[in-house]
Amino acid sequence: MSEAFDAVDVIRTKRDGGRFTPEQIDWVIDAYTREVVAEEQMSALAMAIFLNGMDRAEVARWTDAMIRSGERMDFSRLSRPTADKHSTGGVGDKITLPLAPLVAVFDVAVPQLSGRGLGHTGGTLDKLESIPGWRASLSNAEMLAQLEDVGAVICAAGSGLAPADKKLYALRDTTATVEAIPLIASSIMSKKIAEGTDSLVLDVKVGSGAFMKDLEQAGELARTMVELGTDAGVRTVALLTDMSTPLGLTAGNALEVRESVEVLAGGGPEDVVELTVALAREMLDAAGRTDADPAEALKDGRAMDVWRRMIAAQGGDPDADLPVAEHTEDVVAESDGVLTTLDAYDVGVAAWRLGAGRGRKEDPVQAVAGVEIHAKPGERVTAGQKLLTLHTATPERFDRARDALSGGIVIEADGAVEKTGIVLDRVAG
């Protein structure tokens, strides 16, 4: 067939600082999906976008073209509104686990299509697969039935959602163009808009353990994604949240499930509870449930009831014992003083090296591996006090995990840590 454009001309447009036409964008995404545009040509185009950017209209059209490369889900048959949450990823970020059943308490359906971990950031599906019997893969019919019956589902995204993004995502990882904000935003939002939810709350992480290291950069990403959602008719809001220190007191699969259950039981670490409730309020407000009190639903057991039904609906046993590591080692304080730094990235790398994460998407993970945290920044510690416990099924991993932590723990004799809330800013459409 005769092609409407030539890939070299499209590359040259952006290389020279020009604007794509809507027709150029539609063609290049479709042609790349059909393998008419070669990988090296899309690599050059991604670098041109990285260097010269895209404006709001270009990013919106790019996102729409990726959505149109695959199927769109439709939740209009459900008897309740839908609300979803997306996190840009961090260390110890188990918020989806208590959040989905908590929001569902208030007759809002939560279709949480989640992914697996790669590198130092954990994956929601990896965490839940530490529950005996639980399965991540559901058909669209099974997902809809569970949303109508239980109100919440956490499962793997089907291969039909934004297939162009799947190709481009892998390419960006190997061409040093991952950090291009237009491409990050369109990657996330193409999948979320195709998912068909009525409203979306974005948790944009900021800090050493996050993809975005500073507040200005994270704010630009948040604004771009909120604009994309708003332009597509999805009620969208973003919270910028702190990821300089691990979230909660665990980083690892079964460890994080256990902590999530503690939150659902009315306990758990203060920062996990704070963020879970803050995101729940945003989701409920977007869904029109402005009088709901998610904090109370955590305390009185209603969220736990939905969690148990959600896990059981996907074949899991909510009463089963979670797996426990055969091998543990403690990391202790080397001096007296105030713990001023517990670097999220370093803890995430340590958990990864212990077996909680993967270097390649096809690698297996250990359910039992991870890091348990006994002290957080701002706490006074004494020499020899236990700061962390490392968990793994393969003890030969301990040395490399300790190496990852070597610069990430700082104790100062007269140190002080400024206390701030976990939510740093909010961006609304």
Residues assigned a catalytic role: 86, 165, 172, 187, 191
Q: Are 168 and 28 in contact (CB under 8 A)?
A: no
CA 150 from chain centre, in angstroms, equals: 23
Cβ proximity of 401 and 354 under 8 Å = yes
DSSP character string of 239-261:
EEEE-SS-STTEEEHHHHHHHHH
Separation between Cα atoms, residue 219 and residue 164, nearest integer Å:
26
CA atoms of 241 and 248, how far apart (whole Å): 13
Look at the block and give the residue holding tokens 């306990």: 267
Question: Which residue type occupies 51?
Answer: L
- Select from 257, 234, 136, 248 the least CA-distant residue to 188: 234
Q: How far is CA 92 from the centre of its chain?
A: 11
CB atoms within 10 A of CB 234: 21
Q: How many Cβ atoms are within 10 Å of 122's Cβ, its own excluded? A: 30
Query: Do you know the residue count of the chain?
Result: 429
- Residues 6 or more apart whose Cβ sits within 8 Å of residue 301: 265, 266
The pair of structure tokens assigned to 219 is: 């704010």
Residue type, 37: V
Q: H/E element holding 327?
A: strand 327-332
Instruction: Give the sign of the dihedral formed by CA 247, CA 251, CA 256, CA 262.
Output: negative
Spacing of C-alpha 26 from chain mean position: 28
Q: Which residues pair with 111 in a beta bridge?
A: 153
Structure tokens at 150: 């239980």
